[in-house]
Homo-oligomer: A and B are copies of this chain.
Amino acid sequence: MTKETGKDRPKWRRRAEARPDEVLDAALDLFIAHGFAATRVEDIAARAGLSKGAVYLYFDSKEAILEALVRRSIVPVAKNAAEMARSAPGDPRDVIRMMVTLVAGRIGDPRISAIPRLIIAESGNFPRLAKMYREEVLDRALTALETLIRTGVERGVFRPVDPRLAVRNVVGPMLAHALLAGVFGITEGDGADPRRFVESHLDILLNGLAVEREET
């Protein structure tokens, strides 16, 4: 009687539908903290606020949780990639500036930068994950960057660098920044202000690529 009003069901439903995501959130936190193998399904369940058995109503296995996690993290990338593509026509330097700023802002969030870290850690055991990530994220993102750099070179705003290799200079410093902070707790004296890092990175990078001196 009490809980059967038509209006009330939505709340239930809403929860029920949100469950898988709650599980994924919980799993992500724990995978970040302890890695995949050292995280127990029971702990994921507890953190998600349901019972061990219930997790298996939503996911076939622990591995399936990891996979879903990676898959979920991939979705926004596709969107961003599409968005980027649209704004591509402009000056490659501006696009790179935008991309770096965008990404650097995100990797500050441990819940986002943790996914690649998880994949790095588990790629041996679950090659499918690495493959998925490579195909859906890296190939897209790196190719986009590559094209951008190639365009710059062709237009004469960048020196004649090899775009395939140059992408490492775009991406690497951000990776280093994220890992130094996330894994080793090295955040520099000034704290965690990502803007200063982005500025520094873009300064060095774009000057390194530019034909003419960039004014900072």
Contact = CB atoms under 8 A, between A and B. Distances in A.
The SS class assigned to the A binding surface is helix
Contacts of A134: 184-186
B130 A183 contact: yes
Given A34-B124, A124-B35, A169 B165 contact: no
A168 B124 contact: no
A108 interface: no
A85 B133 CA distance: 40
A162 to B, nearest CB: 5
Contact of A168 (B37, B180, B207, B209): B180
A176 B168 contact: yes
Contact of A183 (B120, B176, B186): B120
Contact of A200 (B119, B162, B188, B205): B162
A205 B180 CA distance: 20
B161 A130 contact: no
Interface in A179-200: 179-180, 183-186, 188-189, 196-197, 200
A177 B162 CA distance: 14
Nearest to A33: B124
Contact of A120 (B162, B169, B179, B188): B179
* Residue of A37, A133, A177, A185 with most partner-chain B CB within 10 A: A37
